[in-house]
Amino acid sequence: MRTRSNEINELIAAECEHLTGGRPDAEGVAVCQTVEHIHRAAYVRTGLRRIAQAGTFADLLDLLRQMPLDLDDFRVDALYLSDRFPIPQQEAVVAAADAIHCRANLAAPRHRLLLVAQRGTFWIGEILTEATQSYTPHLKKPCHVSVSLEARIARALVNLVVPPAATLIDPCCGTGSILLEAAALGLTAYGADRNPKMAHMAQRNLLHFGYPPRVVCADARVWAQTADALVTDVPYGRQLESAEADLPAILANGVRLALLAVYVAGSDITPQLAAAGYNDVEVWRLVKPNGFTRYVHRARVR
């Protein structure tokens, strides 16, 4: 899914599908099986109950006029995902509100409605839940390096394994970006890094936010901590000269530690994951405007 010019983030759709059971369309709208987990999302923003839908805005207003709705103390906002709306947003909001035979309350609404315009349809729904963006405080973690994962990406990675995971390990934890998001979601998270400076930085970051600093200085190729899931950004590129040579041993050990894993790498490592023993692998790309590409792999042993 494209996010802005020259940037591709396929992790958005992956997170949405895992959290909600729905895959977003080209405009970012998904028909979901559940909205229960949206509050913790990195990229998914809002969960709604669709009330009415029509091919034209006029038909949508007619439907609303005819529907027996129990929405006293409502407020309507608008989201234009295309340029098909025949009137400005504020006029559309007023028209939709006038078509609903219930009492409006702009200051303290009990029902928040969202009017949405897409290329082929117009619809209105009630907002049931929204993402809390609880990862944002971690943007100000005291210790970081240039290759640290962004907090939003780290949150999405953890969301690819929760549910079902309740415990998580990161054997190449760096400054602890993934551990922070796991801890924020209530998981019991363990980290390791063979660089003692990095392990210390991860401990400091976790302590700064009041999370248990379960981090040790250990080699990912032999670390023995097990968990429900493994999520890690493996060393690649300039992070480690021997990264390519170390990768098979890291994966071989990882498959023994957790049957469900998410690996971020600088290339598609599906063949290496298969060789390590994973037999169910999905891959998504994160391409930055400068061309730098990360590959996110969700790997399982079934």
Q: Return the pLDDT at 47.
A: 97
Please give the single-letter amino acid code of residue 2: R
List pLDDT tens digits, range 6-52. Answer: 467 999 999 999 999 999 998 999 999 999 999 999 999 999 999 99
Q: Mean pLDDT, the chain, as a whole number?
A: 93
Q: How far is CA 57 from the centre of its chain?
A: 32
**For residue 180, pLDDT beyond 90:** yes
d(CA 146, CA 3): 22
d(CA 38, CA 26): 19
Cβ 167 vs Cβ 188: under 8 Å: yes
Q: Return the pLDDT at 1.
A: 35
Q: Return the pLDDT at 5.
A: 39
Q: Is 196 exposed, middle or buried (0-12, 13-18, 19+ CB in 10 A)?
A: exposed
DSSP 233-292: E---GGG-TTHHHHHHHHHHHHHHH-SEEEEEESS--HHHHHHHT--EEEEEEEE-TTS-
pLDDT (mean) for 142-162: 95
Q: Domains in the chain and their CATH numbers?
A: 2-130 (3.30.2130.30), 136-300 (3.40.50.150)
The pTM for the full model equals 0.92
**For residue 4, pLDDT beyond 70:** no
List pLDDT tens digits, range 191-219. Answer: 999 999 999 999 999 999 999 999 999 99
| Degrees to nearest 5, angle at CA 107 with 105 and 108 | 75
- In the chain, the percentage of residues whose pLDDT exceeds 90 is 87
Contacts of 235 (CB under 8 A, 6+ apart): 172, 243, 246
List pLDDT tens digits, range 246-255. Answer: 999 999 999 9
Nearest Cα residue to 36 out of 161, 156, 128, 160: 128
